[in-house]
């Protein structure tokens, strides 16, 4: 059972990140979160390599864009000793870093499946 969970950790992480996003929006009816959850759940159930490659590639590109947005937001701070600056730097970097790692693992996993 642990091997099944470990092999699906990237998809489970995407679902958890989407639920986290949905909670942050404070909107019960969030069509973007609903569609994302449906796509990620479908991928978790169907295990299609092509869909996994597409999802992970888009996720990598979006997170690279968000890294640029984080850098832009951090450049607006005049005082780098500010608590908000430090929190944004730590949490933003950690969240985007984990997202990029998970998306890369997912991409590699599905590329190996597609090749073999």
The pLDDT value recorded for residue 86 is 93
Provide the mean pLDDT of the chain. 90
**Residues constituting the chain:** 116
- The reported pTM is 0.85
Q: Which two tokens stand for residue 12?
A: 């489970």
d(CA 11, CA 94): 18
Q: Is 42 helix (H, G, I), strand (E, B) or coil?
A: helix
Question: Which portions of the chain are predicted below pLDDT 70?
Answer: 1
State how far the alpha carbon of 73 is from the alpha carbons of 7, 69, 76, 99, in Å: 35, 6, 5, 19
């Amino acid at each position: 059972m642990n091997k099944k969970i470990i092999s699906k950790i990237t998809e489970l992480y995407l679902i958890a990140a989407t639920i986290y996003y949905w909670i942050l929006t404070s909107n019960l009816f969030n069509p973007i979160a609903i569609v994302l959850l449906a796509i990620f759940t479908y991928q978790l159930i169907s295990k299609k390599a092509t869909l996994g490659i597409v999802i992970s590639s888009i996720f990598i590109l979006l997170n690279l864009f968000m890294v640029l947005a984080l850098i832009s937001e951090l450049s607006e701070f005049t005082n780098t000793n500010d608590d908000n600056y430090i929190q944004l730097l730590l949490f933003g970097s950690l969240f985007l870093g984990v997202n990029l790692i998970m998306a890369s693992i997912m991409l590699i996993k599905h590329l190996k499946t597609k090749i073999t």
